[in-house]
Every structure is written in C-alpha cells, then in structure tokens.
Amino acid sequence: MTHPRLDILIYAHDGRGLGHASRSIGIGMALRRLYPHLKVLFLSGSSFSAELIGPAPLDWLKLPSYATRINRGKSRGISGPSNYTDRELGTLRAEAIKQVVQLYRPRAVLCDHSPQGKHRELLPAQKASQNTQWVLGVRGVVGAVPQVFSEEARETFKHSFHTILWYGDEAVLGSTGRHELEKNFSCPPVACGYVSRLKELTHWQQEDKSREKEFAGIISIPWQGEHSHNIIRNIATALEHIGPGYGQWNIFLGGSPDQRKEPGQWLQRLPHVRLHSPGSQYAQRLQHAKTALIYGGYNSITDVLCMNIPSVILVRAMGDKEQQRHLHLLAGHTGNQLRILPETEVTATTLEQSLRDQLNQPPSRHTVNINGAEQAARLLARATGHPAEPQETG
C-alpha cells in the first residue's frame, strides 16, 4: 500500500552560521500555522534545528553536520562532528537526501540558497524525483557566491526548478539584486519580504507578562572566526567599563569547547554578565533587552528588526561582501536602530561608546517588510496543488 505523499520538504544546507536553517524553519513555522492540514518536513544537518524550532509543531530530519573553518575571510570545509571528511559527507548526504525524496515523494521541495545544494548533494534527489515542484529560496543580498551564480547552478535550475522566492524588500534593497537573479536563472523571482523566524516563533510561544525589560542587552556570537578572540576580549573590557548600572548582560557564545574556554573566562569574571550556549533562551531574553550586539547575518538582523531593538552590528570580514552590501542598503531604512562596526576595526572604546549610545536610544520603528515567511508559505501551499485557504493555528 502506498502511503500519502509529503506535501512540502524544506531543505537547508548547514555550515558555520544559522541563516539558511533559520530562514527555512521560519517558513516551515508559517506553513504549520497557516496550513495545519499540510504534511511538512524540514531537512538539514544543522545541530541547532531543535532550538530554532522551539515549541512550533514543525517536524524535521537530521543529516550529519558539515563544519567549516574561516581563514582570511574565506571558508573551508573540515571534518564534521561525525568525523567524516567534507567530501565524504557530501557523498553520503546526497544518497540520504535522494532516499528521503524517493520515500516521501514530496509535492514541492524548497531549497535555500543554491539549486544544487552544498557539495552538489541535491542533484541525485532531483534526478530521482517525480512530479515534484522544486523551488529555490534566496536571501535579499546574495553576495559573490559562486554556488549561486555558476554555470552548474543555472543548468540545475533550468532542468529541475519552477520558481524563485526572493527573501528581500525591494523598497529597501532596490531592484538590482532581484534583476541579477532573474538574469542568472532566466526566471523572475517573486519578492516575499524578509523572512523572520522570530516573528513566526512568537505565534507559538506563550506570552510572558511577568517580566519587564530587565536586561541591559543581548550579545550573540553564534560561531567563532579568526577575529573572534580579539572581539570578545574587547567586549569584556567594554562591559567592565559600562558596569552593572544598566542591568544584566546575556551573552550567547558559540564555538567548540576549546574556542569557548578562554573567552568564557574573560566574560564570567564580570558579575553583571551571564554566559549561555546558543539555544532557545536567546529569543526569550532578546524580547526583554534594551540593546543587542550581534553579527550582521540575515538571521540576526531580522531578529532585532522584529523586536525593534536599537543594536550594534559587527560586520564579518568575509570575502563575499554580502554583509557589507546588505547593511549599507538597510541602514537608510532603519534610522538609528542599527549602528554598524566592521569587526576588524573594533576597539574596546568604540564598543563601549556604541553600546552606551544604543542603551540610551528609544525603540525605533523601521519600514522593512518582515512578512516573508508568511508570503513564502502561501506560495508553497499553491505549489502543492492544494487550493484550500489558510486555516490559521498557533
């Protein structure tokens, strides 16, 4: 007996950051909220998937995780937690994804970022799929990413994909990025708006009315790169100078145990600092923060935009220049909400002054469209062939 088909499979590749998984999970949450009758699965190797999903009823399948190392602004694959090499994982995961697609027979597959997947791991599944609508989802500013703009990406899209969802706001980012994608893939992307996982998460969380905005701020360093030790040392000095007068600081520090050891000691000696691993507490604490210090990734930016929190943004010195381009465009539409600092130019003094300025900044209202998860969910539901109207839950 043949089991019912999966309606939507959502794939996000994993590596150093959380942006791909976070965007994809946000859309999965919106699908479960608006279309509770649809069968939806999330597929990724991200070890933070459960924390990102939180209480939302989004089920997921875990692949072995990739791992990367940054050197002079360029990322390089290394052996993952399972001790398979980067290349071995690509081969194994490709076969696993193909088997998932053959078993569940999804009506639609949403792929984040690149049509062929990391290390071409989606290609066998695309060849094996039947009557499946493949959909590509791309962030507002892509950057100089070969996996998106390569000849292989174009050919893969041409043979397997039906449409592109663009997770940006043209009123903010202009039309250049969307036109670049249209020219590259010969397909006009559908503008959805920014995808905010945190906005979707609020539909599933119980509102906590018992706590006031008691935290001075949130600091998030979800993964550590080549400049992280220097940044964290400067953060510790800046927070020591600021003192406990504004309240408690919650610092979410990622990285391996070895990477966390020494920086953790610098921070834990400060009585007004609490150190956490990245996890579900981040969203809860962010809602009660006066300011935030974050890196300029898509996921982190949409979090502070969702909460209207005056923030200090550290820009990573990555070779693709995505964060620099994105924040340059975004700054003109967020007033004083985002204060931008390149990580290579940060000192304890500039951090201290920037944090003090944002602590004293009233919450601001931006004009950025952050309804992308809901719009993407509606478009995906249509792709399954189910014309039913949304039946919102959550």
Mean pLDDT of 365-381: 94
Q: Are 54 and 199 in contact (CB under 8 A)?
A: no
Q: Which range, of 14-18, 114-118, 206-210, 386-390, averages the lowest pLDDT?
A: 206-210
Confidence band (pLDDT; 50, 70, 90) for 258? confident
Q: Is residue 264 pLDDT above 80, yes or no?
A: yes
Does residue 72 sit in the same domain as residue 161? yes
Asked if residue 210 belongs to a domain, the reply is no
Mean pLDDT of 104-116: 95
d(CA 189, CA 52): 27
Does residue 236 sit in the same domain as residue 276? yes
Count: domains in the chain: 2
Asked if residue 208 belongs to a domain, the reply is no
Asked if residue 68 belongs to a domain, the reply is yes
Mean pLDDT of 35-61: 93
Check residue 324 and give its pLDDT. 85
Does residue 220 sit in the same domain as residue 343? yes
Q: Is residue 172 pLDDT above 70, yes or no?
A: yes
Domain containing 307 — which CATH number?
Answer: 3.40.50.2000
Asked if residue 221 belongs to a domain, the reply is yes
Does residue 39 sit in the same domain as residue 186? yes
Q: What is the pTM of this model?
A: 0.90
DSSP annotation string for 31-83 = HHHH-TTS-EEEEE--TTHHHHHTTS--EEEEPPPPEEEEETTEEEEE--TT-
d(CA 284, CA 106): 34
Q: Which residues contact 204 (CB under 8 A, 6 or more apart)?
A: 29, 33, 54, 55, 56, 57, 394
Q: Is the dihedral of CA 171, 175, 177, 182 positive or negative?
A: positive
Mean pLDDT of 9-18: 81
Averaged pLDDT score across all residues of the chain: 88
Check residue 18 and give its pLDDT. 75
Q: Which residue has the higher pLDDT, 320 or 125?
A: 125
Q: Is residue 105 pLDDT above 90, yes or no?
A: yes
Q: Which range, of 66-70, 112-116, 167-171, averages the lowest pLDDT?
A: 66-70
Does residue 297 sit in the same domain as residue 240? yes
Amino acid letter, residue 387: P
Does residue 152 sit in the same domain as residue 178? yes
**Which domain covers residue 349, as residue numbers?**
215-359
Confidence band (pLDDT; 50, 70, 90) for 274? very high
Check residue 210 and give its pLDDT. 46
Q: Is residue 241 pLDDT above 50, yes or no?
A: yes
Confidence band (pLDDT; 50, 70, 90) for 62? very high
Does residue 252 sit in the same domain as residue 343? yes
Q: Which residue has the higher pLDDT, 135 or 70?
A: 135
Mean pLDDT of 336-342: 91
Check residue 160 and give its pLDDT. 95
Q: Is residue 79 pLDDT above 80, yes or no?
A: no
Check residue 187 and give its pLDDT. 96
Q: Which range, of 157-166, 313-322, 355-364, 377-386, averages the lowest pLDDT?
A: 313-322
Asked if residue 183 belongs to a domain, the reply is yes
Does residue 170 sit in the same domain as residue 82? yes
Asked if residue 250 belongs to a domain, the reply is yes
Does residue 171 sit in the same domain as residue 266? no
Q: Is residue 114 pLDDT above 80, yes or no?
A: yes
In angstroms, what CA-CA distances link 216 with 44, 45, 244, 282, 360? 34, 34, 9, 14, 10
Does residue 93 sit in the same domain as residue 226? no
Confidence band (pLDDT; 50, 70, 90) for 365? confident
Does residue 223 sit in the same domain as residue 262? yes
- Single out the residue of 368, 380, 30 nearest to residue 197, CA to CA: 30
Q: Is residue 22 pLDDT above 80, yes or no?
A: yes
Mean pLDDT of 19-28: 93
Q: Is residue 35 pLDDT above 80, yes or no?
A: yes
Does residue 86 sit in the same domain as residue 118? yes
Mean pLDDT of 111-123: 93
Residue for token digits 């979410």? 252
d(CA 209, CA 361): 23
Mean pLDDT of 65-88: 71
